Amino acid sequence: MRDFFTSFKWITKIGVGYAVFLGVALTVFSALIISDSKLMGRAVMMDMEKAGEITSEYGEQAISSYLQTCIEAVELTGHGVEKLLDEQVPVYDVQKYIEVQSENYTEVVDPNYTGIYGYIRGKYLDGSGWKPDAGYDPTSRPWYTDALAAGGQAKLVDPYMDMQTKKVAMSVSKLLADQSSVISVDVSLAKVQEMTEEILRANSKTEVMLITSDGTIVAHSVESRTLGNVFGKTELLHGHTIDELKNATQRDFKVTFKGKHYYVYFKEVYDGWFAISQINIDAALAEKSGIVATHVIAIILLWGSLFGLFVNVGKRRFEATKNYSQMYSISGIYTTMDLINLEEDTFQMIRCDGEELRDSQEGMTVGAHRIMRETMWVCTAESSQNKLFNFIDLKTLDERMSDTDTISIEYLDNNNKWCRGRFTVVERNKHGKLKSVLWMIEPIDKEKREREHLEWLSETDRLTGIMNRGGGEEKIRQVIETGGKGMLAILDADHFKSINDTFGHQVGDAVIIAIANCMKKSFRDVDVVMRLGGDEFSVFLSDIQDRKIAEQILGRFIDNIHAISIPQITDRKIEVSVGAAFLDQSRIKDFETLYKSADSGVYKSKKTVGSCVTFSEDIAEAPKQSS
């Protein structure tokens, strides 16, 4: 330090000029100190504002994904029940279907599911085996009345405290097509509570709550404040009602209560449910005050070092920017986030977790369309490239987003993992044209595969493992709509009722399974093999139009049927009656007509002893008995 001042000895010879120099220097540095302190204060406020936004965005993404899983479970189950009702199956079969679905959802989706239940054809059915009291009236319960009012849309029923588990729970309900039956599931919101508490552990100055449209707190990062219609009384939002939030033009505001200042950020998560984050401004500023004080003292002691001051200011600005980036990245939702300026054709990488993708983007800023294609080509599976390249075409983006602020696409990356790419509007010019957008990539492989598994469960016959009626019919209808060809065969096990009556339902089930196995063995993977219900089956032979070939295939199938051996059945062999009809697009325009043609053959075959195949075109002739 002495050597430093020694180099300025010539200043002492100036006298008054030296004093003036000191005064001017102190004034300049004081102004810089004040300016820098204000910059730091603004940086802290930016951090808090961004923290509120990110926290709510995180809550929206995580909670919305969880609720959507619950909604899809109810919608898929409701779809399956509607198909069963259309088929006029007994209520007993609907009850069994609900029990199977309850078990599947518990194993595949979430152990917190307590089972599917509903009010079907005037009866209360429960997949978990719960038996209500004699006075229980399901039509007076909120899960039924709210679903009725929603008119077919999946409805989140307001949460309640489960007196047995002492945990917050809710119902997700859906009115079925007959306008009187309702399917519902109770879901524990423990996972949502865990999400909110985790945010509090990460940042003690931030509180997060999930509330309904009437102000009921569903989850709160402070566990003692969960569940209750106390939004109007809560300290941090004193004087701000839920109606004010819903009607507000801005999603963030500041409040002062009991001498303390808070920053509040809110966002609607789903159908009147809001995620709200609130940050104690005073606590955040107090955390920074020690750093600010040390910084000011250091500048005063080194006021003569203009270079040192500039370095320090630059350092503080860098730290503020770094804190902003760190806060922005805590969401953990997106693996990639890029800012694209469409007017200037520039590209800025904000976040990129993938090393391969990051290396391909490094140093590139100009030519956004070219950069997008080159970088996405590196990390996209070949099967998804054409679809994705059309989606990321920046030349057509403004037209595609003219009436929306976000669009998305699902695709496979180069590791065959499912991802969701999303464009979100950042800014539009005064004419409404896109000025800048965010390009974000989110991993959704687990979510996607769970959804596909649920769809598979809804289309599969649980006893035999082949397709059920609903799933098989849909595939055949698609063939008819696209002008395809083929042949539909319907088959019925002869005297199946006597097998059940004589040997019991367990042996009857073994016969059903054996017939299904014969079908899987006899027909191709491209053929649609399904169980219609009971002892009825069907197969659609794709592209088969030649009768001789059809007879050979069905003859081989009947030979396999005759080879079935059930240990309990020794005095008879399994026989089937088969009806077949070719898909002739000139006279058959829908599935129902094709089905009736094949079914008429079954009726005719039933009149022949033993296994028999009757083609609808021969319905006037006597059917030939199969050997």
**CA 411/CA 418 separation, integer angstroms:** 6
Q: For residues 88 and 170, state if they share a domain.
A: yes
Q: What's the predicted TM-score (pTM) here?
A: 0.39
325 in a domain, yes or no? yes
Average pLDDT over residues 31-55: 63
53 in a domain, yes or no? no
Task: Give the number of residues written for the chain.
Answer: 627
Task: Name the percent of the chain lying above pLDDT 90.
Answer: 24
Report whether 135 contacts 150 (CB < 8 A).
Answer: no
Q: For residues 290 and 273, state if they share a domain.
A: no
Report whether 512 contacts 535 (CB < 8 A).
Answer: yes
405 in a domain, yes or no? yes
603 in a domain, yes or no? yes
DSSP 3-state of 204: coil
Please give the angle made by the CA atoms of 537, 452 and 98, to the nearest 5 degrees. 60
Is the per-residue pLDDT at 320 higher than 60?
no
240 in a domain, yes or no? yes
Q: For residues 361 and 304, state if they share a domain.
A: no
Q: What is the CATH number of the domain that holds 87?
A: 3.30.450.20
Segments of 501-605 assigned E as strands: 528-533, 536-542, 576-582
- Give pLDDT, residue 555: 93
**CA 337/CA 364 separation, integer angstroms:** 15
Mean of pLDDT over the chain: 77
Q: For residues 488 and 555, state if they share a domain.
A: yes
Would you place residue 589 in the very low, low, confident or very high pLDDT band (cuts 50, 70, 90)?
A: confident
Task: Name the percent of the chain lying above pLDDT 70.
Answer: 67
Q: How far is CA 509 from the centre of its chain?
A: 37
Average pLDDT over residues 370-375: 84
Q: Which of 165, 190, 215 is the last residue of a domain?
A: 190
60 in a domain, yes or no? no
- Give pLDDT, residue 582: 94
Q: Which residue has the tokens 């006298």?
A: 15
Would you place residue 624 in the very low, low, confident or very high pLDDT band (cuts 50, 70, 90)?
A: very low
**CA 145/CA 412 separation, integer angstroms:** 42
Q: For residues 390 and 418, state if they share a domain.
A: yes
- The top-scoring range by mean pLDDT among 66-80, 193-207, 236-250, 573-587 is 573-587
**Residues contacting 308, CB < 8 A, separation 6+:** 302
- Give pLDDT, residue 487: 94
Average pLDDT over residues 229-254: 58
Is the per-residue pLDDT at 100 higher than 90?
no
Q: Which of 190, 214, 239 is the last residue of a domain?
A: 190
- Give pLDDT, residue 311: 44
Model confidence pLDDT, tens digit, residues 183-228: 998 877 776 767 666 655 555 566 777 777 666 777 776 655 555 5
Q: For residues 475 and 491, state if they share a domain.
A: yes
Q: What is the CATH number of the domain that holds 424?
A: 3.30.450
Closest CA to 401 of 342, 339, 350: 342
624 in a domain, yes or no? no
Please give the angle made by the CA atoms of 225, 227 and 228, to the nearest 5 degrees. 95
From the number of C-beta atoms within 10 Å of its C-beta (0-12, 13-18, 19+), residue 364 rates as: middle
CB atoms within 10 A of CB 186: 21
- Give pLDDT, residue 385: 87
Closest CA to 409 of 444, 456, 369: 444
Q: For residues 220 and 95, state if they share a domain.
A: no
Cα dihedral: 293, 299, 300, 306 (round 10): -160
Would you place residue 575 in the very low, low, confident or very high pLDDT band (cuts 50, 70, 90)?
A: very high
- Give pLDDT, residue 78: 86
Q: For residues 210 and 255, state if they share a domain.
A: yes
Q: Which of 190, 223, 243 is the last residue of a domain?
A: 190
**CA 213/CA 539 separation, integer angstroms:** 50
Q: For residues 364 and 394, state if they share a domain.
A: yes
Number of domains in the chain: 5
- Give pLDDT, residue 552: 94
Q: For residues 292 and 277, state if they share a domain.
A: no
47 in a domain, yes or no? no
Q: For residues 318 and 270, state if they share a domain.
A: no
| Residue-number span of the structural domain to which 219 is assigned | 202-283
Q: What is the CATH number of the domain that holds 611?
A: 3.30.70.270
CA separation, residue 571 to residues 73, 164, 503 (Å)? 46, 56, 12
Burial code of 200-232, b = ≥16 C-beta within 10 A, e = fewer?
beebebbbbbbbbeebbbbbbbeeeebbeeebe
- Give pLDDT, residue 27: 72
Q: For residues 464 and 434, state if they share a domain.
A: no
